Structure 1
Amino acid sequence: MSRRYLVVFAQAHNEFRIPELRSIAELHGFEFSLPSALDDQDPNRPYMVLYVQEEEHARILAKRCILIKSVYEFYGQGSSYEELHQNNRASRALWSRYILDTSFRFLVTAHNHKIPQARQREVVESFSYMKLMGKIDMKSPEIILACLEEYTSRHGFVRSKHEGDGQFRQVYFGRLLQEGTARSLIAKFDVKKRAYYGNTSMDSEISLLMANQALASPGKLIYDPFMGTGSTAYPTVHFGALVFGSDIDGRQMRGKGNPPGVLRAASQYGTVSRILDLCTFDVTRNPWRRGALFDAIITDPPYGVRAGAKRLGRKKELTPSQLATFTEHRMSPRLDDQPYIPPTKPYELSNLILDLVVLARYLLKPRGRVVFFLPTVTDEYTEIDIRQMLCEGMEVIANSLQDFGSWGRRLVTIRKVNDIQYPPPTFLEHQKGLATTHIPAHKGFREKYFQGFRKEE
């Protein structure tokens, strides 16, 4: 029989909350249920009651989910304290074991509001019917019982300190089960404290969320095909996974100095042994000679705002005479003994994403995941943009928006659904876009970004 637990969320990345919960539940092999009422499933609200089979499963969510602040054993809720007390009395079987000799402390707090001390005392005294006989211990109690009031946001309105006190949307009551310990990792992986980072390094909270979406854990082998400065790798290896990274520009991974920058930063976190290797190559001309290698692919593809994506090739093809001269030059010895640096050309984002999904289908094990960010223009985005990038054997299981106003980026999670060994992808540019006339919102994103997302006349 499922038991109810109250989850208190951090006020960040609201759309990422439920996908993260589902990913961690899948990682640890259990299930949970959301409330039946749609209003209670709203990810924008700070509190949510989950139905979980075992208490240990609720603790696991609190310890691993980045967006959870705490989890409570749920006793009741109501739109008024009269309704709350009625529901709490009905839950007596859950809290009666603490009546006789358990030290306790009451916590009365609120979201979007400051409760005056006088009313906090009134709230605590209203629970006198519980007849708790244990010692009141404000420093180290055996249990903490909490009332959590939810107020609607009044951001932007000038009001007095306690204006609207008691006019809450809902109040919840329960016993603190587990503090959310994973949020401390945000400070640990803070980019500003990192030994090596660059101008494209990702925010630590986002990279931790990506690691959770990729189900990073001991024994997993995970690949980042656009490694850059390694922002996705450090949380991934922290959770026990092994990481292989590649990039078309090795300078981003190497940095300046020795050892290479990515390894130097991994050493800072004590996880350098889990970085298997770093290689420089173009993903469209990759060295992989067999598929089904990786449990997950996790990456933040370059989309041209700070650094544009590149692939091998020339912007303008050589004429036959130029090609003959070039070939002759390449075959002759170089007097300066300098290595040949192949030319590159821009890699259009919509083509890059199509190639990434097909490459993931080839490289992933069955039920493996590819997790990546996709920038989109807010006014132009439609669901077909995501469906269009799919191919046989792949399905979308999460699509969460990080909103920046006129544009945003979506954390997309796609899973391989079968055990078919697909052939290596060909990455033929002339085949892109032939199957559909729909133009996705992320096509030409770089140009739209620098034009200020102005619509064409």
Structure 2
Amino acid sequence: MRYLVVFAQAHNDFRLPELCSVAELHAFTIDFYGTCDPTRPYMVLDLAEEAHAQILARRCILVKSVYEYYADGSSYDQLHELTRANRGQWEKYIPDTSFRFNVTAYNHKIPQSRQRCVVESFAYMGFLGKIDMKHPDIVLACFEEYLDRHETTRAKYDGDGDFIHLYFGKLLEEGSARSLISKFDVKKRAYFGNTSMEAEVSLLMANQSLASPGKFIYDPFMGTGSMAYPTAHFGAFVFGSDIDGRQMRGKGNPPGVLRAAAQYGIDSRIVDLCTFDVTNHPLRCGGLFDAIVTDPPYGVRAGAKRIGRKQELSPARMESYMEHRQNPQPDDQPYIPPTKPYELSSLVADLVLLARYLLKCGGRLVFFLPTVTEDYSELDVHQFLCEGMEVVGNSLQDFGSWGRRLITIKKVTDIQNAAPILHDRDSSASDLDHTPAHQHFRDKYFQGFKQRSA
């Protein structure tokens, strides 16, 4: 069965990975009909059942609506010819079905007079039911696709009829998942901070992680919990950690993350929140989690830290320090271990090793990786992979001179590796021939990419 998917006009590069992830989650396959171009607003899919199309409409954040496909073409003559040929799909609605007919366009506004002409051109379908603009039994829609002309100055209806393609079908279901963007809007959240991820992107990450009831998902850089809320909404249990517990706690009681989770009715799915450094984690058992989903700090609004000192103590100070640790005084303050910067390229490599240890076979690691646009190459991502880990998604959110990539890595081995020892690498010296575009990203960002290239 063939279906027409109408996408919301956002995050073009994320469309295919989201469709494929939701299909994998619900154990069905998608065949793409014709040219599969994620930059275009319409896509025709072949699915085994109507229920599969409804799942996509109800779960995919970027799906605006799904239609039962009738025809497509580069001209109305071709569209009408195919619609007549597919009479078996729509003739059952002829006798007594109320209907509404929509004519709309992408990158263009169609004048009402021509909309009426288009509707009348389908008169051969011969529907005998009444026209109902508010509550029809079926909604038929014709879509015209135009080239993107948003940077050109033109009259209101200039170029009307110069479309590049047409689509025609019957509405199956409106996309209901997009309403979650408003529900999880950061501005309406009980607890958030300056590093909180925007709702739409965190929902996309939840879909990439295959979050569903019974799954156990981990966020090693929990912060204010932006990844936890959508994954828990989809039924998963969430465990979070952070090197700075203040980010998770906030002010007041209960902790900020739990307050926000209670706002969404999912606080019972937050298993626990712990404060520790992922390079010195207390998890002594691998294969615990179905997914790891996180947004590692890369130094623009908050820098990554790991336990350690920027400079080693002198022998005299070390001796005094050790003596004090061995003979604590009653009025001593709680010991807070010192931290030092955690370079992004080292962090990402360690994160992949940690994921291989902590994930079940088939589990996914989903995280954002910032990159310099002009320096990026595919080798940047494959360079930090390790045996048993495979890239299944790489989508770009473009900000011009830089962008961030949503990387999805799948564990494809059932071998249980030992807990990795995450050494403190010297990020300034590398034995690799290729320097990834995300290395020293913070320095490049604050230098200004254009000035640096000049």
What corresponds to 2:107 in structure 1?
A: 112
Deviation at 1:428, TM superposition (A): 1.3
Give the Cα–Cα distance (whole angstroms) in 1 for the partners of residues 330 and 214 of structure 2.
48
Match of 1:317 among 312, 336, 341: 312
List structure 1 segments (4+ residues) > 6 angstroms apart after TM superposition.
none
Distance, in Å, in 1 between the alignment partners of 2:289 and 2:165 is 45
The correspondence for 1:137, drawn from 123, 132, 137, is 132
Distance (whole Å) between structure 1 residues aligned to residue 313 and residue 433 of structure 2:
31
Contact residue 346 and residue 425 of structure 2 kept, 8 A: no
Asked if 1:124 corresponds to 2:122, the answer is no
| Whole-Å separation in 2 of the counterparts to 1:376 and 1:456 | 14
Find the partner of 1:446 among 438, 442, 449. 442
Task: Indicate the SS of the match to 1:182.
Answer: coil
Tell me which of 248, 264, 269 is aligned to 1:253: 248
Whole-angstrom CA distance in 1 between matches of 2:379 and 2:263? 42
Report 1:341-356 matches (<5 A).
Answer: 341-356=336-351
Deviations 1:412-441 (A, max 9, x none): 000000110000000012487766221100
1:170 — aligned with what? 165
- The CA distance in 1 between the partners of 2:407 and 2:453, in whole Å, is 28
Q: Confirm whether residue 225 of structure 1 aligns to residue 220 of structure 2.
A: yes
Partner residue of 1:4? 2
Tell me the amino acid that sits aligned with residue 7 of structure 2: F
Q: Using the alignment, how far apart are the partners of 2:11 and 2:425 within structure 1? A: 38
Structure 2 residues without counterparts, runs of 5 or longer = none
Whether 1:455 aligns to 2:447 is: no
In structure 1, runs of 5+ residues without a counterpart are none
1:320 CA drift (Å): 2.6
Matches within 5 A, 1:281-320: 281-320=276-315
Indicate the SS of the match to 2:33. Answer: coil
Name the counterpart of 1:371: 366
Amino acid at match of 2:341: P
Q: 1:173 is paired with a residue of what secondary structure?
A: strand
Equivalent pairs, count: 452
Q: Deviations over 1:63-85 (max 9, x none)?
A: 00000000000000111111100
Contact between 2:57 and 2:176, CA under 8 Å: does it hold in 1?
yes
CA–CA distance in structure 2, aligned partners of residues 381 and 429 of structure 1: 25
- 2:307, 2:33 → 1: CA distance? 51
Shift of 1:319: 2.7
Deviations 1:155-189 (A, max 9, x none): 12221111111111111100000100000000000
Q: Is residue 40 of structure 2 the alignment partner of residue 45 of structure 1?
A: yes
How much does 1:4 deviate?
Answer: 1.1
- Give the distance between the partners of 2:329 and 2:303, measured in 1 at CA: 31
Residue correspondence of structure 1 range 48-447 to structure 2 within 5 A: 48-430=43-425, 436-447=432-443
Distance (Å, rounded) in 2 between the aligned partners of 1:138 and 1:155 = 31
Asked if residue 26 in structure 1 is aligned to residue 24 in structure 2, the reply is yes
Please report how far the alpha carbon of residue 334 of structure 1 lies from its aligned counterpart in structure 2 after TM superposition. 3.2
Distance of 1:97 and 1:370 partners within structure 2: 47
Q: Which amino acid aligns with 1:136?
A: I
Determine helix, strand or coil for the equivalent of 1:429: coil
Describe the superposition over 1:17-62 as per-residue Cα deviations: whole angstroms up to 9, x where unpaired.
Answer: 00000000000000011124xxx21111110111111111011001
Shift of 1:325: 1.1
Q: Which amino acid aligns with 1:442?
A: H
Report how far residue 137 of structure 1 moved. 1.1
> What CA distance in whole angstroms lies between the structure 1 residues aligned with 2:78 and 2:415?
55
Q: Which amino acid aligns with 2:360?
A: K
Query: How has the CA–CA distance of structure 1 residues 435 and 27 changed in structure 2, closer, same or farther, with 3 Å as cutoff?
Result: farther
Distance in structure 2 (CA, Å) of the matches to 1:101 and 1:191: 47
Q: % of aligned pairs identical?
A: 69
Q: What's the secondary structure of 1:12's corresponding residue?
A: coil
CA distance in 1, matches of 2:380, 2:156: 46
Q: Secondary structure at the match of 1:70?
A: strand
Aligned residues: CA RMSD = 1.2
CA distance in 2, matches of 1:146, 1:334: 77
